Amino acid sequence: MRIIRIRRGFTTNSSGANEFLPTGGVRPTVSPAAPGPAVLTTVQPWGDAPSMNAPPSNATTIGVVSVVVAGAFLVIPAIRLLRKKKEKEPHDDDA
């Protein structure tokens, strides 16, 4: 059992779920220290999670739109890669 990752701090930025440079990294978690007592006394569960399989409302319309949008997501990076590949070819030739 181990802690995989640690992040610290409050995030004000839209594209920064990992905003601050951490002060530590992956750490071994088994230490010889004696455990401290648990201090958490009150439980406030969410209850059941929403179903991930629930169909969306307006499923047909959204489905069609989704396919189009998803296709766009695939095309955009593909175009970028093709452009970069074209840019890279002269460089490769030089090498």
Partner 1 sequence: MTPESAPQPLVLRREAFGGILFDPLDGTYLELDPEGFEVVRGWLVDGRAPATPEEQSFVESVHREMPTLAAGSRRVRARIEVEAMAPTQHATVLASPTLVDLQVTNRCTVGCPQCYASSVPDGEHMAFEDAARILHELAAAGVCQIAIGGGEPLLHPQIVEIIELAYDLGIVPNVTTTGLALTPRVLETMARCCGAVALSLEDVGEGFAKRRKTGAGFFEASLEKLRAHKIRTVFQVTLSAENLPRLPAIVDYCLAVPDLYGVIFLAYKAVGRGDGYDTQLSAVHPGELYPWLREAFLRLSGHTKVGYDCCITPGIAGIDVELGFTDLDLLEGCSAARTSVGISANLEVVPCTFTTHLPLGNLAQRSFMDVWHGSPSTGFRTALDTQGDARTETCSPCRLRNSCLGGCPVWDLVRCTTRPPELDG
Q: 35 φ, ψ to 5°?
A: -75, 150
Contact between 90 and partner 1 by CB under 8 A: the answer reads no
Among 10, 90, 93, 95, binds partner 1 (CB under 8 A): 10
Q: 53 φ, ψ to 5°?
A: -100, 0
List binders of partner 1 among 51-80 (CB under 8 A): 52-54, 56-58, 62-63, 65-67, 69-74, 76-78, 80
Is 29:2 a contact under the CB 8 Å cutoff? Answer: yes
Q: Which CB atom, from 30 or from 95, has the smaller least distance to partner 1? A: 30
Least separation in angstroms between CB 23 and partner 1: 8
Is 58:66 a contact under the CB 8 Å cutoff? Answer: no
